[in-house]
Amino acid sequence: MAHVSHGPWTKFLDNWQRATLALQLLAIDPGLGGIMIRARSGPVRDQLLKRIDPYARKIHPAISDEALFGGLDLAATLSAGHVVKKAGLLSKPGPLVLTMAERAPVRFAAHLAMALDRGEGLTLIALDEGAEPDEAVDPKLSERLAFHIDLSDVSLRDIATIPPGIAGQPPTAPSGGGFTPTRGRELPSVPQKALEQITQIAAQLGIDSLRAPLFALRAAKAHAALHNRDEITAKDIETACALTLAHRATRIPEPEPKEPEAPPPDQSTDTQENPLDIPNELILDAVRALLPDNLLDRLAAQKARQGRGNGSGAARKGNRRGRPLPSRPGRLTDGARLDLIGTLRAAAPWQTIRCNATGREGLHIRPSDFRIKRYEEKSDRLLIFTVDASGSAALTRLAEAKGAVELLLSQAYARRDHVALVAFRGSDAELLLPPTRSLVQTKRRLAGLPGGGGTPLAAGMRTAFDQALQATRKGLTPTVAILTDGRANIALDGSADRKKAASDAQQMAKVLRSNGVGALVIDTGNRPELALRNLAQTLDAAYLPLPRADAQRLSQSVATALGD
């Protein structure tokens, strides 16, 4: 190909070419971890997968730990009379194709991440079929894969018309051997300057993790090795940065103003003498060309996705209680419960054959007959009413809120709702009713409620948030319903500072949202209040203007908003 000494030549590579290039680099250096391919299942993806070893092991997110790590093969052990161990899929080096990677639960991702960290030549091809932007592979996993390629815009025609030889790749992909590590030659070492350059560029793109520059470094070496070069050239660095850094960028670096004293023609002659003399700016250009247009939106989506933390009990396994589902074949592992009838039914047709085969009378049940009970469980919901008890209208509002709470509770037999009530007034918030389903207790607790004073909205939200967190730990799904008619005028520290009060409330709203607590803002004022609408927006919550709401309407609209 024509020698492109300058300029972001990776621009000439489309996503498909990048994908094949990434596969080649991965074959050279398994230390690159792997590649994440975002594409729906289809001919394009199949074409790419064909370039991977056809015998590559395939895994899916629901795979059992035993299959991954190996363990005792109980069935074989029992029939053989001595211990038979199974080797896990993760124990051998080589490529591993993970389908439906976006569905990988966080624990599964952690397992894979650990295996990748061991650095034993395991590489992961994660196929991300996410349809929505916020449906993506767990960051723990994507962080450890050097390349991310989006194939969703590639059509089959594009693949056929690749002019052979662009990007210096062989016209036909190495058959199957796309993945036998071709460590024929030593990877070249990287000069000091290139190393600094890569680190700087990663920093300029706002990439915090130090894995990114390390990947770029490895990719540059692998790229040089791919082209049978003993030394890293500017092109290697540029390609490597574009391939490994672009998707991690959290910042779009501004192009530097052109300096007049550097005459461009001189530079190109320079490059020929010293192949590494390439300004950061040019590499950044190459990366910038790959940055998605909606980078900021994406980052926001990622932020919103964060913090669906579990590890403290929110995750529901849901296979011990709840509504029964049809049983399925399965193994008797730790938490599983045998569906005896289902198992017998599955074994029944085989009895004669098995009796004949073994010559033994009696019931023959094999591990393949086991049927495991499954349950679907909806976690209980907790509605945290956060009621403004300030000002003049406090008494009526509180009374209506009480009414709504009681109404909702009386329907709680049908729905699995728990209710809590937080009131805020004066300078602080108070938990009037801890989460409960008991109507009697509620009536007693809510008998006398004081009102009046300022509006410490943020304090109310904080108390509600504390309750929500506790509820999440217990496995409930909390929703905070905020009832107020006015602006916050008391800050969290109790000072009567409108401005600070408003910013505190916004801040609390962000905390609630980033912790994944659902919310609902009910404006009981006579006129809709802009500040409350904004608050609802920050909370990612529904905004319901309900002037002069009575208990009946209140409970109805809450129920509707929650989608019953």
Q: Which residues bind another protein (CB under 8 A)?
A: 31, 65, 68-69, 72, 77-78, 81-83, 106-107, 110-111, 114, 117-120, 139-140, 143, 189-190, 192, 195-196, 198-200, 202-203, 208-214, 217, 306-307, 309-313, 334, 458, 462, 465, 473, 492, 504, 507-508, 511
Distance between CA atoms of residues 110 and 121, nearest Å: 18
For residue 318, give the nearest of 470, 105, 114 by alpha carbon: 105
Nearest distance in Å: CB 30, another protein: 12
Nearest distance in Å: CB 82, another protein: 6
The identity of residue 328, as a single letter, is R
- Nearer to another protein by Cβ, of 202 and 389: the residue is 202
- Nearer to another protein by Cβ, of 65 and 550: the residue is 65
Q: What is the dihedral of CA 217, 221, 227, 230, to 10 degrees?
A: 130
Q: Do residues 286 and 10 lie in contact, with contact meaning Cβ atoms separated by under 8 Å?
A: yes
Nearest distance in Å: CB 494, another protein: 14
- Nearer to another protein by Cβ, of 199 and 534: the residue is 199
- Nearer to another protein by Cβ, of 83 and 156: the residue is 83
Residues ≥6 apart with Cβ < 8 Å to 215: 32, 33, 146, 244
Nearest distance in Å: CB 244, another protein: 13
Q: What is the DSSP letter of 84?
A: -
Nearest distance in Å: CB 99, another protein: 20
Nearest distance in Å: CB 203, another protein: 6
- Nearer to another protein by Cβ, of 266 and 334: the residue is 334
- Nearer to another protein by Cβ, of 196 and 297: the residue is 196
Distance between CA atoms of residues 46 and 447, nearest Å: 67
Instruction: Supply the angle between the helices 234-245 and 192-204 in degrees, to the nearest 10.
Output: 30
- Nearer to another protein by Cβ, of 198 and 240: the residue is 198
Give SS3 for 418. Answer: strand
Tell me the backbone φ, ψ of residue 482, rounded to 5 degrees: -100, 120
Distance between CA atoms of residues 187 and 229, nearest Å: 9
440-468 b/e with 16+ CB inside 10 Å = b? eebeebbeebebebbbbbbbbbbbbbebb
Nearest distance in Å: CB 187, another protein: 8
Strand partners, 479: 383, 518
